[in-house]
């Protein structure tokens, strides 16, 4: 009986100690998690700069600054699938909002290209539109502008859409109010950074290699078998103590 109580005390103590350690080092761990997502490419000059739709208060502003300072010749905007509000003419489409912001920030109309042949509905579709555009401009260089928390998934997706040998340039615009080093202090930061990890996992599953599925399934089976064996061993030990 004493051995049984000692095991339960150990089972309760270890998680509490582990939780305390994780809490004590939460800042560097969460900062590293944010920095892993915000892996922006070094700034380089490109012919075309694709703006990922969304965050119209940051991404178009960063893109306009890059164009005005000569880092890109033109901006490329993918047209999204029209939402009900757009269809009812309540709000303008996303690409039109981005175009207006660029114009207000001094980008001339001839340097703004809207890709409306493929109506996109995801980051994957946005980069497919860029890939089709680059097929018509095979000698051109291109970069992508998005927010810092979205860089990792954008680069991963771009490599699969543009080809295995591609080395896509993805530039991360800062997010208003928080960044990779303090995102967990803010509700929007937790929503965006935490949600981005969930979306990245979903992209790995949907668009990743079949080998990833095999590894995932094998790992799950091995973990389940190990858990069952450990549980059986614990039940036998408990039975021996009671006997």
DSSP string, 133-153: HHHS-TT--EEEEEEGGGHHH
Task: Check residue 241 and give its pLDDT.
Answer: 47
User: Which residue from 117, 85, 124 is spatially nearest to 207, judged by alpha carbons?
Assistant: 124
Residue 128 predicted with pLDDT over 50? yes
User: Which pLDDT score, from 0 to 100, does residue 71 have?
Assistant: 96
- pLDDT higher than 70, residue 57: yes
What 3-state class would DSSP assign to 228? Answer: helix
Mean pLDDT of all residues in 38-47: 94
Domain residue ranges in the chain: 39-207, 210-243
Q: Per mean pLDDT, which range of 41-50, 85-94, 165-174 is the poorest? A: 85-94
Look up the CATH superfamily of 39-207.
HUPs (3.40.50.620)
Find the mean pLDDT for residues 38-42.
94
């Amino acid at each position: 009986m004493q051995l049984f109580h000692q095991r339960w005390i150990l089972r309760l103590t270890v998680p509490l100690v582990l939780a305390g350690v994780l809490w004590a080092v939460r800042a560097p761990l969460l900062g590293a998690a944010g920095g892993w997502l915000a892996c922006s490419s070094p700034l380089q000059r490109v012919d075309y700069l694709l703006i990922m739709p969304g965050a119209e208060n940051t991404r178009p502003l960063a893109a306009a600054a890059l164009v005005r300072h000569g880092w890109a010749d033109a901006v490329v905007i993918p047209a999204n699938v029209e939402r009900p509000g757009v269809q009812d003419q309540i709000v303008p489409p996303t690409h039109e909002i981005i175009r207006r912001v660029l114009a207000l920030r001094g980008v001339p109309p001839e340097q703004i290209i809207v890709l409306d042949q493929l109506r996109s509905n995801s980051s994957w579709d946005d980069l497919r539109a860029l890939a089709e555009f680059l097929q018509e401009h095979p000698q051109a260089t291109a970069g992508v502008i998005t927010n810092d928390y979205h860089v990792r998934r954008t680069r991963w997706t771009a490599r699969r859409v543009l080809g295995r040998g591609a080395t896509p340039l993805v530039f991360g615009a800062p997010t208003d109010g928080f960044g990779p080093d303090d995102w967990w202090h803010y509700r929007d930061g937790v929503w965006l950074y935490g949600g981005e990890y969930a979306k990245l996992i979903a992209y790995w599953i949907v668009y990743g290699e079949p080998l990833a599925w095999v590894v995932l399934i094998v790992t799950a089976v091995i973990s389940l078998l190990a858990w069952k064996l450990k549980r059986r061993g614990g039940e036998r030990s408990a039975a021996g103590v009671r006997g």
